[in-house]
Structure 1
Amino acid sequence: MTKDLEHQFVKELECNQNIVHKICTLYTSDRDSHNDLFQEITIQLWKAYPKFRGDSKFSTWMYRVALNTAITLYRKSKRSVPTQDYESVIFKIKADEYDPTQEQQLKLMYNAIRQLGDIDKALIFLYLENKDYREIAETLGISEVNARVKMNRIKNRLKTILNP
């Protein structure tokens, strides 16, 4: 890879790294696993970057690579040693913004989302990132209509999980 391509990749990754961190939070339950997944996603992005044609926004392409990597590793991990319990995850929240009720609601929501299937997790993540259905469909490789139908089903499933 040329230095220009390398510089361009690093710049794009720095600007969009929150995407990767959020995906890592959805698919892991402890800091070490989060860091491992972040590293693996970064490696996969780096390997795939020369093939990025720019047909879509970098962030959309990044979602696709990151989600595919997370789903692949998540499926492999289901066959091996279980991860640490969610309660042990430490959140970095500024003291002046700390709201114990909000933190508890976030924990409940993340626990509910973790009960969803791999594709459903990815879809709800993109929805919570305020992506429109066209971009969700493009990122996940499904039709826009399918994305809407799946989203309605996911919302109903989350309601059932959160309000048994």
Structure 2
Amino acid sequence: MNKELEHNFVELLKQHQNIVHKVCRLYTNNKDEHNDLFQEITIQLWRAFPKFRGDSKFSTWMYRVGLNTAITLYRKSKRRIKTYELEPLQFKLKSDEYDDTEEEQLKALYKAVHQLNDIEKALVLLYLEDKDYREISETLGITEVNARVKMNRVKTKLRTILNP
């Protein structure tokens, strides 16, 4: 789009932005929703502006685009599950309630598992999924005895990696 068209749009929007604010006040309940709708209407106005022929006053056209945008978004929002803002005080947590020890141990385990070869990784995955040795052996195409021996070796290897 050319600079002149952009300049004209910005000037007209500045002159008539109260129209958009009025529409936003009708269809929103809080400042964030108001700002979101204002932005969406502005985007729709900008997209439609090159097609504005001037058959009606700019303000009339602006109302039409603004209301159509708001109504369309309002209809879409009616299909959503209604949510409510809860008081922030209800969610105050003590910092000592979260212990990241388990998370750190899990990260270390994954890092150690990444150092294993493909078969060993598969063994660990199946083992962690609580598959028995019969299922592990069938899945990997090895004997059940071989699966047990390999798993014991992998456990030893992981202990060595985790506790050097």
Q: Which has the higher contact order (CA 8 A, sep 6+)?
A: 1
TM-score normalised to structure 1 length: 0.50
TM-score normalised to structure 2 length: 0.50
